[in-house]
Structure 1
């Protein structure tokens, strides 16, 4: 009986540890000729800070989303409270999760992988 429970326990643990994890990363590149202020709420579930505030100089890039998820669908891979605010040259864009996802659908995945997807977006909407 103990041997059977031990085998069952080992199978259960093996099943739990083989669940696929997916990584979703979005990099933002400042293509403007002036600085861009970034304010991201719920930026990551694996890195700190969870609230990222940063100023990017022309030509600089940074991650604006970094999530590890058990879901193979990006929509389910990060929280509904995600919000991205971009400010530059007296203009501001605020994207909630749905607007952010819509914007990502217009871009291509930079480095597609089996479980790692990396998007690269830039500041075209903020530049004159």
Structure 2
């Protein structure tokens, strides 16, 4: 499991449901203007990443045949690099662009500070996380 990004069981259930409806998925961590810094879920490849984005994790969710990539802007990661990120889901209306919006649920990113010695080993841009 990745030390950088994990997924709660409730979020994993929603990811499985969205995968069945929309095919392969990806996340991009929003910068927080209009959507409250929510992780945005898109069909894989629909959100165009660029040189200012990094892939933080490839989440392996049971029941989803391919990893779900999690992207964040390099500048935002510089501010958040001392945290472990957990994708969760809560009741409410998500952003109109994120796939979960019609479900009456929204993804939420929770963060926990990590120890400095632990952080050094966790800064890979290409980690895989297993979620059951």
TM range (shorter): under 0.3
Query: Which entry has the higher C-alpha Rg, 1 or 2?
Result: 1
- TM-score normalised per structure 2: 0.26
- TM-score normalised per structure 1: 0.27
Q: 1 or 2 for the larger relative contact order (CA 8 Å, sep ≥6)?
A: 2
